[in-house]
Structure 1
């Protein structure tokens, strides 16, 4: 197996993409009073926090951040939970993940929202690999990246120096 890692996005590029995505989210939701960012466990939640911070800097919108807790290695087993119980009625929710590969994780991540009368659900991802097997398309994308199924994308937003690698 090929062990080489190729840097796809560096810290500065990731910051620029997050800022651009925040502006797009604000443009499409400027008439709202609040936005709920729901980040999928791990880097999806980290990205949701970053998008929320960027949106707070450029808009007067109230920003709420939740974590969608699920087992990414086996999404169809176990519960899909939200980190907090809040009223979601008539809210705009942006479900956030680091990488959109087949769409399976994002489909399962929508489960907690199906019981609420949400105004709309949008999807934001940092990297879209476009291997769509499930009917999920991102509304906001940092980077479209053509890859093979055998290649892997690693997003690291936890350290001070954010990176995206292909290997």
Structure 2
């Protein structure tokens, strides 16, 4: 039995979503000294880089990107760490992941930041599925998509043709 995949967003649509999200981030953070994007390893980190690149194009904000290293399949037992040691003091931190399913991964990804005097934390995702099992709601979402728990979303930002598929 072959699995059918439905294209939800194509390359051009994803680029439009990233541009819109970057403008929203700038609007809400125009008075900030800087913004740090913390992308969850994998597609979240790639998305963080794309958002940071776009934000640098449209604003004078000081923008940094750091990778949150964790095991997505074992977030409870696994160690959560950052790719770089940078100061988060009095900065705006934006947690980034490709898809928000239940909120579990994003909730556990907060571990490295809990003892830093961060000014505020916001969440950006490309696709929000709204299966809230954890109290995590995105501040910036490219697409709100109602799905069943048995359906899956696959995001590919690694090739020269970005895509989001439902299967």
TM-score between both structures, scaled by the size of structure 2: 0.99
Distance (whole Å) between structure 2 residues aligned to residue 78 and residue 98 of structure 1:
20
Distance (whole Å) between structure 2 residues aligned to residue 47 and residue 78 of structure 1:
23
Distance (whole Å) between structure 2 residues aligned to residue 57 and residue 86 of structure 1:
22
Distance (whole Å) between structure 2 residues aligned to residue 24 and residue 34 of structure 1:
15
Distance (whole Å) between structure 2 residues aligned to residue 2 and residue 108 of structure 1:
34
Q: 1:29 is matched with which residue? A: 29
Give the root-mean-square deviation of aligned CA atoms.
0.8
Q: 1:110 is matched with which residue? A: 110
Q: Aligned with 2:137: secondary structure?
A: coil
Deviation of residue 87 (structure 1)?
A: 1.1
Deviation of residue 77 (structure 1)?
A: 1.2
Q: 1:98 is matched with which residue? A: 98
**Structure-to-structure mapping, 1:37-56, within 5 angstroms:** 37-56=37-56
- 2:4 is the alignment partner of 1:4: yes
**Which portions of structure 1, spanning 4 or more consecutive aligned residues, are displaced by more than 3 angstroms?**
none
Distance (whole Å) between structure 2 residues aligned to residue 80 and residue 13 of structure 1:
32
Distance (whole Å) between structure 1 residues aligned to residue 78 and residue 126 of structure 2:
26
Distance (whole Å) between structure 1 residues aligned to residue 162 and residue 76 of structure 2:
30
- 2:51 is the alignment partner of 1:63: no
TM-score between both structures, scaled by the size of structure 1: 0.99
Distance (whole Å) between structure 2 residues aligned to residue 116 and residue 33 of structure 1:
17
